[in-house]
Amino acid sequence: MKFFPLVWAGLKRKKLRTVLTFLSIFVAFLLFAFLGAIKEALGGGVSMAGLDRLIVRHKVSLIQTLPESYKARIQGVAGVAAVSHQTWFGGIYQDPKNFFPNMPVEPELFLAMFPEFLVKDAEKQAWLNTRTGAIVGRTTADRFEWKIGDRIPLQAPIWGPPAGQTQWEFEIVGIYDGAKKGTDTSQFFFRYDYFEEARQREKGQVGWYTVRIANPDQAAAVAAKIDEEFANSPYETKTEPEGAFAQGFAQQIGDIASIVMAVVGAVFFTILLVAGNTMAQSVRERTEELGVLKALGFSNFLVLVLVLLESCSIAILGGCGGLGTAWLVISSGNPVPGLLPVFYLPADSLVAGVLLAVALGLVAGVLPAWQAMRLRIAEALRRGG
């Protein structure tokens, strides 16, 4: 610790350069953190998928519906512990720009299937008691400043208006939170029994089923059995684990996401290269001073450590500053709730960022530090001329 003033003096030697180097590292890591969050968001919740859940959908595509009567038949397949279903409602709140997913579900089955949606008991009870009741996630509730008791009108171009009315209207009876950071709380759920009674098209049809299986190790076997059950019927199914389903969905975005990530990654390293180069240069310029230190009796090893400490401290300060700022900004809220349903900084990105910052400090410092260590005093003193 007693060498701290020495490191500090080294950093202060050219204040402006130190500040600018700090700032470019800061920006690079800010960018790194944002990319981590965007990547996680585009991953479409693959990491949030339940291991013991399967998704059953129409074989041709997700937009084709399945009969509601399949529920009982799926329940009868060996290895199935629970079944619930959802249907894409596609309701529009005022303007298509205000997009959020909204779906009719059977409240009790649904909440049992998805324990990651945390609903207070009183609100759950209210939902069971209110036919037109709906629960909405925190993200969407905050986005539109909805409170419990608000009545939300939705236009549903797919289904048309409900019997006898001009538009659908739901009462918010609960606001749910996510059990984990990455849980999607942008969705809006209302009651299937009300939907079934009021809709005027495709009665008795639902979008897709979620199945809980008793033993996650048998996911593939149970999925095959479910598909077999409905083979050669007018509504053939495709069953896959929730994770595979989410991944398939995310992969529909295609390689543009990975291209952007790769390009930006390359640039991140370019910025680091430029910053690292500057840091190395600032050590090289001080050969003479390092010679003086050695003449005063500093050991080779101590000089090596001093130089490394200097480069690491600027890299770590800049890196952690950038990551920390990004973390603050990201946790303060999702700037684009309509575009990315979940937006948070995963812990492993944060850890990777800190490790990268340390690595940057070491890599930028090691060559000049090595040279400084090997420096012969007489030569160093002569070089200053």
Q: Interface with other proteins by CB under 8 A: which residues?
A: 16-17, 20-21, 23-24, 27-28, 30-31, 34-35, 38, 59-64, 90, 92, 96, 155, 157-158, 234, 236, 238, 247-248, 251-256, 259-260, 263-264, 266-267, 270-271, 273-275, 277-278, 281, 336, 339, 385
Nearer to other proteins, 61 or 129 (CB): 61
Nearest one of 201, 199, 212 to 51, comparing CA atoms: 212
Residues 128/111, Cβ–Cβ less than 8 Å: no
Q: How many Å apart are CA 22 and CA 317, to the nearest integer?
A: 7
What ranges in 190-299 are assigned the alpha helix state H? 192-198, 219-229, 242-251, 255-284, 287-295
CB-CB contact of 273 with 356 (8 Å)? no
301 vs 70: CA distance, rounded Å: 73
Tell me if 362 sits within 8 A of 314, measured CB to CB. Answer: no
Q: In whole angstroms, how close is the CB of 123 to other proteins at the nearest point?
A: 30
CA angle 87, 153, 188 (to 5 degrees): 40
* Minimum distance of other proteins from residue 63's CB (angstroms): 5
Give DSSP secondary structure letters for 229-254: HTTTSSS-EEEEEHHHHHHHHHHTTT
Min dist CB 332 to other proteins, Å, is 16
Between 175 and 237, name the residue whose CB sits nearer to other proteins: 237
Instruction: Output 280 or 293, the one with its CB closest to other proteins.
Output: 280
- Using CB atoms within 10 A of its CB, is residue 55 exposed (0-12), middle (13-18) or buried (19+)? buried
Q: How far is the CB of 73 from other proteins (least distance, A)?
A: 19
Give min distance, CB of 160 to other proteins, in A. 8
Instruction: Quote the least distance from Cβ 25 to other proteins, whole Å.
Output: 9
Residue 303 vs 326, nearer CB to other proteins: 326
Specify the residue, 16 or 78, whose C-beta has the smaller distance to other proteins: 16
CB atoms within 10 A of CB 313: 18
Nearer to other proteins, 63 or 355 (CB): 63
Concatenated DSSP letters of 3-43: THHHHHHHHHTTHHHHHHHHHHHHHHHHHHHHHHHHHHHHT
To other proteins, the closest distance from the beta carbon of 103 in angstroms equals 15
Query: Please, which residue, 80 or 154, has the CB nearer to other proteins?
Result: 154
Spatial distance between the Cα atoms of 306 and 304, rounded to a whole number of angstroms: 6
